[in-house]
Structure 1
Amino acid sequence: MKFPRPLRLALLLLSLTGALLLGGCQHDALPFRLTNISGHMPDLQFQLTNDNGRPVSAADYRGKVVLLYFGYTHCPDVCPLTLAHLHVVLQKLGKQADDVRILFVSVDPARDTPEVLHAYVNAFDKRAVGLTGSPGAIEALVKRYRASFTREPGSQGGNYEVSHSSAIYVFDRNGRARVLSTPGTPQDDLVHDLDLLLGAGASA
């Protein structure tokens, strides 16, 4: 039976839509425990400077599962607690943790030089990388992932704090955003989801 051209086009669009929906279901098939953000956040993308003073981009971390976190070294509470939390998670993963990288992006580039960042992140975990850059580059990356930060008024001594969001963005080996964690997430739930991403390989 030959359908009129407008109907044929409608049927074609319907079949394409169904294929896309099916593809989305397959893409999100892993049984995550944490908030699944697959398809709802952009891929990992940046050009910054690492804690060894070298320019790096997201491409340098392809093949690794990435935990992206925005913070700063003078943070009095949530940043050290979060890095300690992630260190324990990686310890629980055992040998698999070698394929994970914690990317600690400073929202205080004026004080967080590569040297300062290197000493700070390495005190928590050798698989953590400190990243810094121009204020514009940092702001663009923060906006890309719908995070936020605000520098609080400084004291007479020049000290100040930076209020910032505390989400931990988890990307798969291909740089795709997959789950969202927080410092309060049960460690075993994050271990579970990282284990899924590490076991799924690059085809996840």
Structure 2
Amino acid sequence: MKQSHARAGLFVLLFGLLLSLPLLGHITKDSGYYGFKTDLPVPGLPGYQAGDEQLRLVFFGYQNCGTVCPLQLTNLLDLHQRLESDAVRFVFVTLDPERDSQQSLDATMAALGENFRAVRPATQAQAQRLAMGFSEYAGKTGAGENYDFDHSARIYAVTPDNRRHLLYASPELDLDRVQADIQKLLGQS
């Protein structure tokens, strides 16, 4: 019994370490950015039609979320208004394709602004794999129809070559500094 608890504890510790690896570079040196500076490949977004954007701000969430998703979408809406003249797209990836229809997602994105797009993986398992490719934690909690998702609610700055350059780990953002980061990153593209 003790041995199985020790293995489970070790697994949780290793999983947490794996999720924190993208942050280690930012913690150990000053990148000159407010967000966590990285340069890591991420998977492409299935069904996403790239345009002429130089940068995508990607957020994983779900429409029935009553906590962090509305806060992050408000942050993205504010950034959309601030970055209107820049080549930035805002991409919402649902973690809950079982309840979030593409039609409903598209209507929500259209209401937010012309540079908002939604990605709906075919299954919840595919959504989970896609989130993991971004180092996003997402776990379904509850059973039956009354389930939710625990997720990290990060915003990722991704270039057209599918490389993640910045991540914002909290919905409590200094949007002036995020805007400066994005404009600095765009100037380097």
After TM superposition, the score normalised by the length of structure 1 is 0.69
What displacement does 1:101 show? 0.9
The aligned counterpart of 1:119 is 107
After TM superposition, the score normalised by the length of structure 2 is 0.74
The aligned counterpart of 1:176 is 163
1:129-153 CA distance string (max 9 Å, x none): 1111123321221111221212221
The aligned counterpart of 1:6 is none
For 2:75, the aligned partner's letter is H
Identity of aligned residues (%): 25
For 2:65, the aligned partner's letter is C
For 2:134, the aligned partner's letter is Y
The aligned counterpart of 2:57 is 67
What displacement does 1:93 show? 2.4
Q: Work out the CA distance in 2 between the residues paired with 1:94 and 1:172.
A: 17
Q: Work out the CA distance in 2 between the residues paired with 1:90 and 1:73.
A: 19
Q: Work out the CA distance in 2 between the residues paired with 1:133 and 1:93.
A: 27
Off by >6 Å, runs of 4+ in structure 1: none
What displacement does 1:77 show? 2.2
RMSD, aligned CA: 2.4
* Structure 2 gaps, min length 5: 1-30
Structure-2 change in CA distance of 1:105 and 1:151 (3 Å): same
The answer (yes or no) to whether the contact 1:62–1:174 under 8 Å persists in 2 is: no
Structure showing greater Rg: 1
1:49-68 CA distance string (max 9 Å, x none): xxxxxx336xx257430111
The answer (yes or no) to whether the contact 1:150–1:163 under 8 Å persists in 2 is: yes
1:103 alignment partner, SS class = strand
For 1:153, the aligned partner's letter is G
- Give the alignment of 1:47-126 within 5 angstroms: 47-48=45-46, 55-56=47-48, 60-61=50-51, 63-96=53-86, 99-126=87-114
* Structure 1 gaps, min length 5: 1-29, 49-54
Structure-2 change in CA distance of 1:146 and 1:94 (3 Å): closer
